Amino acid sequence: MLLADSAQAVNGKLYVLGGGWSTSGPQPSPSALAVKIDVPWDEANREHVVRIELLDSDGRAVPSPTPPNEPLVIEATLEVGRPPGMTPGTPLDAPLALNLMPLPLKPGRYEWRCTVLGPNVSTTCAFTVRRVQEPQV
């Protein structure tokens, strides 16, 4: 999983602009998550639930900035088929690109956690939101 300014998943590939940052702010700005999931060969042709959630530095869910202010969670189903001619046992690529609206986050440390439910395999991508610098006189 990679933080970026923008991302697209097209024809099995990830296209990333401004990727690999870990510090943002202090002003909210658009961002994206580029995610590549390796689906094991024996898990192909099965539906999987992918859960992506934003957590604060204490591991608590960050509320959505819009009412009803529920935890900021994205869930989707994923199913990857086996292409013809693929060598048995080869993991299958499942790229995901999520472009996010600017999030008004308080200064601090956060992490996006992506979990594939069922096998409960997860990864995280942490970032810091800077404080507003006071003008020096």
| Cα separation, 26 vs 68, whole angstroms | 24
- Phi first, then psi, for residue 41 (nearest 5°) are -50, -45
End-to-end CA distance of the chain: 41
What are the structure tokens assigned to 65, written together?
Answer: 């900035």
| Cα separation, 2 vs 51, whole angstroms | 16
Per-residue pLDDT of the chain (137 residues; tens, 9 = 90+): 999 999 999 999 999 999 999 999 999 999 999 999 999 999 999 999 999 999 999 999 999 988 888 999 999 999 999 999 999 999 999 999 999 999 999 999 999 999 999 888 999 999 999 998 877 77
All domains of the chain in start order, with CATH: 2-129 (2.60.40.2550)
Single pTM value for the model:
0.89
